[in-house]
Structure 1
Amino acid sequence: MWQRLLLTVRENIPWLKLIQYALFSILLALATLLIDYRILPGFDYIPEIFTATLRLSKNILSTLAGALLTITTFGFSTIMTVLGIYLNNYTPRILTNFMQKKETMKVIGLFSGGFVYCITMLFFLRDQNELVEVIAGAVGVLYSLYAMMYFLWFVRVILTSIQPSNIIADITQRAQSAVGKAKEKYQAKPLDWAEATRDLPQFMIRAPKTGFFDHFDPKALVQALPEGSGFVDILFPMGDHLNESEVMAQVYAKETIPEDALEKAAGAFFIQKQKNADMDYHFAMVQLVEIALRAISPGINDPNTAIHCIHNLADVLGDIAKVDLQVPPTVTKDGWTLRYRDFDLEEELHRTFEQLIHYGKEDLSVMRAIFETLQIIFDEALPGNRPVIAAFEAIVYEAALSAHSGEYDRRKLRRMRLRWPNTDAKQKGETAPMLA
């Protein structure tokens, strides 16, 4: 329940910021009114510099209301302009990255909240003596000063956010964070799954709706199943698309599991309409790949940005290659053993580089970046994962070789090829042999 609530909050952070500052402005107006009406004590302790006659305060609030509404409109136009830059220069998939920044909707919430405060105070102070001293105007001025300082900070955030290097770094950080969360499962001890589930009856957990598999709650899953012990095989990694009624997990247990329990267990799987880069590292990697593809397209022709994206992919794939992927991990909880499917290094390499190879194989600088990235991944990988990388490198080499018929280009491609790490050779200053 709490995970579902947190997921809802995470998806609606931009609008919650607006509601937050709207409520804050209403509470601020209420507190100011109670002080100005002398219902709450404390007015006598406020310095005279923060008090003004009601007539002057009304003039201040009227001016501020118009100014704050104007800047709210300007801030919204600025956000739409930045979204247009993201859409036209990078990829539509990163629009949510900017919208989920706390500064994006906070600036709109601040100025719209200030407008609500000014209008509220003007309405409730309309029948008072024009010469009475109030603090409504001073509070409005202080609020506006804070909002203006935050707007300057927002401008700085925008100027930083539209820089390609910062966008790529932010996406890479999200991907590495998601990979780190997935790697925690691989600390569990592997299990001989075929032997453990042999001769056990099999039951299916089906997707309750169509969407992307965001994550699931192991505790809720186990609580939905009958007491006892058994095995649950989760068939899809997070981020995969599921259709309604598609089998997303298999349950093995000695006792018969009723259909209502299986339907309740399906509620432990969170299926969303959109992918989430904070939970699904595949989505973050797709963002990097799409930025690189657009950069090497003839219309943009910015291979250096593509090379930067490809080099950042090494950080994410290198983290995956450090994991022992021979056997999927299992976790035991309240007698039930859950098996996850997150990392498949061969699939990750093909999914990440196949489009880059297809569209960039004629550009030697792009191919050099791909070979350098594979070399970094290879050097960081566990010994058991290196043959997978070497086999994929051979595929990349053949694809690049087919796009270049000149001997000079082919010679350069041969020099780019993956090399086995050789400590003794490096110490002697020799070159390690290339893979065949």
Structure 2
Amino acid sequence: MKNVKITKLWDSLQSSYLFVPALIVVSAIALAVMMLTLDRQGNYGVLKNWGWIYTGSTDGARAMLAAIVSSTITVAGTVFSITIVALQLAASNFGPRLLRNFMKDVSNQVVLGTFIGTFIYCLLVLRTVRGDGDDYNSFIPQLSVTVALALAIVSISLLIYFIHHASTIIQASHIISEVSAELDRATDRLFPEKIGRGLSQSGRQVAEIPANFDEDAYPIKATKSGYLQVIDDEKLMQITSQQELIVRLEFRPGKFIVKGSELMMVYPGGRVNQKFAKKFRDVFILGTERTEQQDIEFPIHQLVEVALRAISPGINDPFTAIRCIDRLSAGLSYLAGRDFPSPYRYDDLGNLRIITQPVTFVGLINAAFNQIRQYSNSDVAVTIRLLEAITTIARYTQNPKDREALRRHAEMIQRDSNDAVSEEWDKKDIEKQYQAVLKAL
């Protein structure tokens, strides 16, 4: 398993508009140095026979490079402006928490970096052109100018692609499908077939927690506030195994932690000193926003947020809300077939070391349906689709507690709609779908 801190750093770099453009700019500088070195050597070999190398004058080279420089930096500003507009539209129409999905779009980063890299490359080559063509000391970097022309052609091609891409990524269908795909990836990452136990321990009973755990445990408190993004479970298991400790986590990723809150309880508390307390705090990575790295609820909440904005009176777009419900039903159906991890984690010797705050399927169902049900009780189409989604999920759910949770949500949806919907025919349609849910359960 990858180190979670490295994974967290890589995730932060991916969602930054600095990393990829900076890499492209550095590559452009290296390319300029390499091309100019080849030009100074003057040995083009078979390349000169192809007829593609620039053979014009120094004035022509300056004019071409200057034109590429001025045009690329202008278009880079346009690309940046379009990106900002797209981010504003996303924040206003779909919610500010979805901005991170746009920031992680590598295509936008590559386009912006390519224009800036072409600009830097041409500037570096332009400064080496000297003489008027008749001087003995004149220098025309023929190969470098040819590469600059090729980069200009690539930049124009990327501009055409960017216009198409920018008009696609702000569409509701694209945004919803991307968040849904992230939910599926989080499911595969966080809920594999076996988790928390070794193969040899899969059938053993969970050991009892010491009777004096609460009295003798030492609390590790947070030194700052923020959202819990990642827990370094491998490091935590290593520390607890080496020191023969048992820890109980008080939060799970995705929760907001207030400074001074108890992050975990460590048993026995007498073995904990300031050095160990710092090591335990380092296991928790806090940030200003939630991420999906270890938080399966985050993409679910993103879909719910899009649905709530769609059915708000200011937008009144039930079709977008229905798409979100369809994706939620698909994601929860996929989750229903996974084994949820036990909150009890054991070391290689079979000793209980970590007690976590577990994620339950019932909790995910509540996160998916509660708010949509509360805000859409008067919208017949959305209400019916909610019941259809529960019917679909029921086909993939075998656990009695999970099926009971689905039944409870169906009852609440049917009861709320009866109070909010006045048309009898609409009530009959809702009742018909409610009966279909009961039959599926």
For Structure 1 versus Structure 2, the TM-score category normalised by the shorter chain is: 0.7 to 0.9
- The question of 1:54 aligning with 2:58 is answered yes
SS at 1:141's partner residue? Answer: helix
Residues 326 and 228 (structure 1), Cα distance of their counterparts in 2 relative to 1, 3 Å cut: closer
SS at 2:316's partner residue? Answer: coil
- Bigger CA drift: 128-137 or 27-36? 128-137
State the identity %: 22
Q: In structure 1, list runs of 5 or more residues that go unmatched.
A: 422-431
Choose from 274, 279, 283 the match for 1:264. Answer: 279
- Cα distance in 1, alignment partners of residues 170 and 39 from structure 2: 45
- Cα distance in 1, alignment partners of residues 338 and 210 from structure 2: 25
Determine the structure 2 residue equivalent to 1:198. 211
Deviations 1:298-342 (A, max 9, x none): 222211111110111112222333345595353435756323334
Paired amino acid for 1:62: A
Partners of 1:234 and 1:248 within 8 A in 2: yes
Determine the structure 1 residue equivalent to 2:330. 315
Choose from 94, 97, 101 the match for 1:97. Answer: 101
- The question of 1:292 aligning with 2:307 is answered yes
Deviations 1:221-264 (A, max 9, x none): 23444724333222322211111231122233486222320221
- Cα distance in 2, alignment partners of residues 301 and 60 from structure 1: 53
SS at 1:124's partner residue? Answer: coil
Determine the structure 2 residue equivalent to 1:28. 31
Determine the structure 1 residue equivalent to 2:432. 415
Partners of 1:176 and 1:315 within 8 A in 2: no
Structure 1 residues 309-348: aligned runs within 5 Å: 309-324=324-339, 328-332=343-347, 337-348=353-364
Partners of 2:58 and 2:130 within 8 A in 1: no
Residues 132 and 153 (structure 1), Cα distance of their counterparts in 2 relative to 1, 3 Å cut: closer
- Cα distance in 1, alignment partners of residues 103 and 26 from structure 2: 21
Residues 370 and 160 (structure 1), Cα distance of their counterparts in 2 relative to 1, 3 Å cut: same
Partners of 1:94 and 1:287 within 8 A in 2: yes
Choose from 369, 375, 385 the match for 1:369. Answer: 385
Partners of 1:214 and 1:276 within 8 A in 2: yes
Residues 42 and 279 (structure 1), Cα distance of their counterparts in 2 relative to 1, 3 Å cut: farther
* TM-score of the two chains, using structure 2 as the length reference: 0.87
Determine the structure 2 residue equivalent to 1:171. 179
- Bigger CA drift: 95-104 or 190-199? 190-199
Partners of 1:357 and 1:400 within 8 A in 2: no
- Cα distance in 1, alignment partners of residues 174 and 428 from structure 2: 35
- Cα distance in 2, alignment partners of residues 412 and 265 from structure 1: 55
Structure 1 residues 38-187: aligned runs within 5 Å: 38=41, 42-47=43-48, 48-52=51-55, 53-126=57-130, 129-130=137-138, 132=140, 134-184=142-192, 186=195
Partners of 2:186 and 2:292 within 8 A in 1: yes
Paired amino acid for 1:318: S
Deviations 1:358-390 (A, max 9, x none): 221001101001111111122211233211221
- Cα distance in 2, alignment partners of residues 281 and 94 from structure 1: 15
Residues 55 and 236 (structure 1), Cα distance of their counterparts in 2 relative to 1, 3 Å cut: same
- Cα distance in 2, alignment partners of residues 418 and 313 from structure 1: 21
Residues 383 and 157 (structure 1), Cα distance of their counterparts in 2 relative to 1, 3 Å cut: same
Partners of 1:238 and 1:342 within 8 A in 2: no
- Bigger CA drift: 106-115 or 251-260? 251-260
Partners of 1:190 and 1:330 within 8 A in 2: no
Paired amino acid for 1:350: N
Deviations 1:130-185 (A, max 9, x none): 47562221010011112222222223322321222121111011012112222136
Aligned residue pairs: how many? 422
